[in-house]
Each structure stands twice: as C-alpha cells, then as structure tokens.
A and B are shown apart, each in its own frame.
Chain A
Amino acid sequence: MKKTVFIAAAILLGAFITGALDVVHPFGDPLEVPMDDYFIANALNDISAENIVTAIVFDYRGFDTIGEAAVLFTALTAVSVLLREGRKKP
C-alpha cells in the first residue's frame, strides 16, 4: 500500500519536472541577454581583464564574494563550537 503510493507520487513528480524543464528555452539559444553582452564587449577595455569570469566575480559583482567569504567563516565557527572537547580524565 505504502509502496504503491510512493511509486505513483514519484512518477507524477518525474512527469512534472520533465514537462517544466522542456520549455525553459531551446538548448544553445538563450533569449535576450543584454547584461552579458555588455560584460563581454567591455571587460577588456575598462579594466584590461583577460579572464572575464574572474572579473565578474571580483569586480562587477563583488558583493556576492563578500557574502560567500562570510558564509565560509561562519561555517568554520559553527563546526568548531559543535565539536568541543570534554574534560580530560585526571
């Protein structure tokens, strides 16, 4: 009984996901992208960056990198608080 309900729910979820992912856009043909066209055309002239991905991560969208460095720092603090040591036996 439980297994048939699970299998029916899995098939329904699979059909829904397939139907949704098929109509995003045709693969290899993105629609209007004015922001990326500006980045590709102007990154070399403005800051003479040859690697456009690094220029986006550290210069054009640098706030996301600040947030990510903060997330790493918070994760390290939380792990070292959760796994504290007990008192050693005398």
Chain B
Amino acid sequence: MIANAPFLLVGLLFLGGMIAIFMEKNLVKIAIAISVIGSSVNLFLVALGYRNGGTVPIHYMAGENTVMVLPTPQAMTLTAIVIALATTALLLSLIMLVYRHYGTLDIDEIRRLRG
C-alpha cells in the first residue's frame, strides 16, 4: 500500500478540495478549491502512465534506453488543463457580476437578500 503513494496523494488533494467546498463561506475561496480539484485529477492522469525504468517519450532525448512511459495520458492532460482554464475564467467573471449586483461575497447574505 505504501508503494502506491502517488495515487494516495491524489486522494488527499481531492479530499482537501471537497472539504473546502463544504465549509467555506467566501465565494473566491470556493473557486480556488474547485481549481485544486481539477489539478488533482490531472496529476492522477499523468501518474497512471508510468512504467518502471522508463524514460521521456521523445526520441531526441531518450538515448540508449528503449523503455518509454506511456505518451497518451500526457496528451490528454494537455487538453484537460486548457479546458479547466476556460472554466475558471468564466467562473471568476460570474463572481464579479454577483459582487456588482449584491455588494457582498458571503453566501449566507446572498441567500437572504434575494434581489
């Protein structure tokens, strides 16, 4: 079980992000926790494709070694990072609009005002 340490680290980051979403009251801190969850899933994708004794999957830098790590999860992670960036940009724009309309960023106050 201690040999699977990268997978357990992914679970720890995911759990920390979920606890922060439940317990926080500020909208910007909830947005930061959502970004942490996205990063933990990207780490899981890259850690899935490791081979013991493998090297970087580029022929120019591999040299004599012919055992390479899997290149497909790395290609998928590139796409996932860009999509998480687009989601975060839209989320922060909506938070700016909420602040301009209600005047506060506390979720208990926003639920009570109902403007």
Contacts and interface: CB of A to CB of B under 8 A. Distances in A.
Contacts of A44: 59
A36 B48 contact: no
Q: How large is the interface on B (under 10, 10 to 19, 20 to 34, 35 or more residues)?
A: 35 or more
Given A36-B70, A82-B94, A30 B49 contact: yes
B1 A22 contact: yes
A52 B97 contact: no
Q: Which of B71, B72, B94 has the most C-beta atoms of chain A within 10 angstroms of its own C-beta?
A: B71
Interface in A47-88: 50-53, 56-57, 61, 64-65, 67-68, 71-72, 74-75, 78-79, 82-83
B7 A24 contact: yes
A21 interface: yes
A52 B58 contact: yes
Contacts of A82: 90, 93-94, 97
Given A21-B8, A28-B52, A75 B86 contact: yes
Nearest to A7: B19
A10 B19 contact: yes
Interface in A12-52: 13-14, 17-18, 21-22, 24, 26-30, 33, 35-36, 39-40, 44, 50-52
B113 interface: no
Given A10-B15, A53-B74, A79-B93, A24 B86 contact: no
Interface of A: 6, 10, 13-14, 17-18, 21-22, 24, 26-30, 33, 35-36, 39-40, 44, 50-53, 56-57, 61, 64-65, 67-68, 71-72, 74-75, 78-79, 82-83
Given A50-B58, A53-B74, 18 more contacts: A10-B19, A14-B15, A17-B11, A22-B1, A27-B4, A29-B51, A30-B49, A33-B70, A35-B72, A39-B72, A50-B60, A52-B71, A64-B76, A65-B79, A72-B82, A79-B89, A79-B93, A83-B96
5 contacts: A24-B48, A39-B72, A51-B59, A53-B57, A78-B90
